[in-house]
Structure 1
Amino acid sequence: MSKKITMQDIANHLNISKNSVSQALSGKAGVSEPTRQLVHKAAEELGYQYKTTKNTPGNLKNIGLIASDFAFSQKRFFGEIYLSTEKEAINRGMNLFIHSISAHARENLILPPFIQKNEVEGVLILSHISNEYINKIIATGIPTVMIDHHHPLIQADAILTNNRFGAYKAVKHLIDLGHQSIAFVGNIEISPSYQERWEGYLLALRENGLEADPEVMFLHAKEEEEDINQLISQSNKQPTAWFCVNDGLGFLVLSKLQKDGLKIPEQASISSFDNGQLSQISTPKITTMGIDLALYGKKAVEQLVWRIDHPDEPLFELLLPTVLIERESTAKPIKEQMLK
């Protein structure tokens, strides 16, 4: 079977950049007419398959949105981001192609048909798939923007939550209430977001003169009831406050502590992240960090449109702010209350 010719092959053949090849084949400005003709000639000689497009203000742009099957299943978080992305694309008169990446496609590096057939001018990648898979998409030369994920080995624009500062604010809130023993709950190996939230937790402790205690940092906690129940039961210490990297973990920690007979927030305060449904329906409702999910989609499409027109500009990471939503699950420690 003959090797499939890529834009990089054409770039190597002509000793020019892949971005220049992309601009020439897509009809964009940025390359001279002689270069454009050379690229088209080389593409024909090498057997590169492409669809000629012309960008004019009146033409619709086609963009793609892909995510893993798991990410698409998280309807209350990623579903809201998807809807805001679709809304922004429609507002801009663009066509949005959606494709879910199965485990089989990820492991075998099978790209969506609209990328293989060069039917879209840019692609949005929602959350993590795998570095190898994402980098294969980037290697096609198609402009790419990541949503809620980044990695040092992925060279693409990214729209992210300011996880470090968000976690810092959540933990600082607990410290300001008077808590000095604050647990961390979250698997930092699952996502860069959770790793960054741990770093924000550590920063808040350090800046406020508190030492991080390994005995109350549960860095590999699974978002499963059995796992949370076990780690709390086996803990040698009972912190007065808990910071959880997402609302699901916050809900599980709250439920376990209540089963153990602790009153929330009188005997233990709980703070989480994302402002999802579980933080809103729990009793008591959980203090959390709110994220503007609609802003994710808007900024992602906005950045992709800019990147399509500016392929050679430096890469950007945009950090979206978070807001502390104080609810009934956090209060002063019981000793502090008794002093009042």
Structure 2
Amino acid sequence: MKKIVTMSDIAKTLGVSTVTVSKALADKEGVSDEIRAKIKQVANEMGYRYNVAAKSLKDGLTYNVGIIIAERFIEVGVSFYWQLYKRLADELMKINYYAVFEILKPSEEQTATEPKMVIDKKVDGIIVLGQVGKEYFNMIKAASVPAVFIDFYENDSTQDFIITDNFYSMYMLTNYLIEMGHRDIGFVGNIRATSSIQDRYLGYLKSLIENDIDLDRCKQWYISDRDDESGHVDFELKANLPTAFVCNCDNVAYELIRKLSEKGYRVPDDISVVGFDNYSVTANESVRLTTAEVDMKAMAHTAIDVLMKRINNVKAKRGIKQVSCKIIIRDSVKRLK
């Protein structure tokens, strides 16, 4: 019979007290972040398992975290938020928590309806993926459980937001296009839809300004890909096209490539395209997209770490935490002479 691993076993392995192990595994104060991470790592390696039911009764916690995604962000097939949700669920399992998933319907968002899982006290905290309306945001932040917001932010320093480095990463992608000889560069994305798209657009503008590129000229190639509530629309190409486009996400970049192909344009031979996110849209895409890779694992880990601190009343600074991106160079950009 396999021996059951106890906190005492973990303490002996690391040469620390059982109390220290207990505090670390429960995310309580009195243990440094470095020691806490080491204890959790060794606990997982040794096969330590919580008795969740017993702990729930003892601590008054459910060991569930609610994850909310607006319906408009759930696309057919692969979606950035589906991928991020999977990362969150995996990270939660590592600390013996379960993810409770809920799709936010437009009517519920508009009326700022409190999630049933909060009303029924089924979760210890909430993670909201993607931009939500101001009234719904205000309702969530006033809820009876702590919340963390991912991939958007508001003008509110009392809340926890986890975002990727949208501004700098799009600045770098646009700089890459310019280094490759492009000066007529369009942008695809509705800057009023989400804070992420807006920050990416501002990064694009900074690159144009620094390289003395005519902003008014480039404005003619601005294409809105969705309405202000982030619902995707079937955007149209303009008659006069630039030599390159930066797109607010990979999904839109691939849709742009498809539309260009229908018009007889080839990427990158005729027009270069870059995206953002770096997750697989489909294995059948003929163009390998240059993009910015969002570190979903780091975003998920950071969000859960912050939420656990809130759940366990650990003092920590609130506000925006930013996760870096990595620029991925592939073959969707042509060097101009």
TM range (shorter): 0.7 to 0.9
Pick from 293, 300, 304: which aligns with 2:303? 300
Gaps of 5+ in 2: 1-27, 30-55
Aligned amino acid, residue 300 of structure 2: G
Pick from 63, 66, 75: which aligns with 1:64? 66
Pick from 113, 129, 132: which aligns with 1:129? 132
Q: Which residue is equivalent to 1:228?
A: 236
Q: Which residue is equivalent to 2:21?
A: none
User: Is the Cα–Cα contact under 8 Å of residues 135 and 154 in structure 1 kept in the other structure?
Assistant: no
Aligned amino acid, residue 161 of structure 1: T
Report which of the two has the higher share of helix.
1
User: Is the Cα–Cα contact under 8 Å of residues 126 and 147 in structure 1 kept in the other structure?
Assistant: yes
Q: Which residue is equivalent to 1:87?
A: 90
Gaps of 5+ in 1: 1-27, 30-51
Summarize deviations over 1:296-319 as a string: whole Å, max 9, x none: 222211110122234764312111
User: Is the Cα–Cα contact under 8 Å of residues 182 and 216 in structure 1 kept in the other structure?
Assistant: no
Say if 1:104 and 1:154 are closer, same or farther in 2 by CA, change over 3 A.
farther
CA–CA distance in structure 1, aligned partners of residues 316 and 86 of structure 2:
28
Deviation at 1:224, TM superposition (A): 6.4
Identity in percent: 24
Q: Which residue is equivalent to 2:112?
A: 109
Say if 1:224 and 1:152 are closer, same or farther in 2 by CA, change over 3 A.
closer
CA–CA distance in structure 2, aligned partners of residues 76 and 172 of structure 1:
27
Aligned amino acid, residue 273 of structure 1: F
Q: Secondary structure at the match of 1:206?
A: helix
TM-score normalised to the size of structure 2? 0.74
User: Is the Cα–Cα contact under 8 Å of residues 228 and 253 in structure 1 kept in the other structure?
Assistant: no
Summarize deviations over 1:82-109 as a string: whole Å, max 9, x none: 1111111111012332222222322332
Q: Which residue is equivalent to 1:18?
A: none
Q: Which residue is equivalent to 2:42?
A: none
Number of aligned residues: 278
Deviation at 1:73, TM superposition (A): 4.2
Pick from 143, 146, 150: which aligns with 2:149? 146
Summarize deviations over 1:234-264 as a string: whole Å, max 9, x none: x4xx311111111222123223333333332
Say if 1:224 and 1:77 are closer, same or farther in 2 by CA, change over 3 A.
closer
Q: Secondary structure at the match of 1:305?
A: helix
Aligned amino acid, residue 73 of structure 2: A
Q: Secondary structure at the match of 1:187?
A: coil
Choose 1 or 2 for highest CA Rg: 1
Deviation at 1:142, TM superposition (A): 2.1
Say if 1:280 and 1:332 are closer, same or farther in 2 by CA, change over 3 A.
farther
Deviation at 1:61, TM superposition (A): 3.0
User: Is the Cα–Cα contact under 8 Å of residues 67 and 99 in structure 2 kept in the other structure?
Assistant: yes
Give the RMSD, CA atoms, in angstroms.
Answer: 2.7
User: Is the Cα–Cα contact under 8 Å of residues 62 and 124 in structure 2 kept in the other structure?
Assistant: no
User: Is the Cα–Cα contact under 8 Å of residues 138 and 144 in structure 1 kept in the other structure?
Assistant: yes
Deviates more, 1:243-252 or 1:197-206: 243-252
Say if 2:226 is the partner of 1:218: no
CA–CA distance in structure 2, aligned partners of residues 138 and 196 of structure 1:
23
Say if 2:197 is the partner of 1:194: yes
Say if 1:86 and 1:189 are closer, same or farther in 2 by CA, change over 3 A.
same
Q: How does 1:43-58 map to 2 (within 5 A)?
A: 55=59
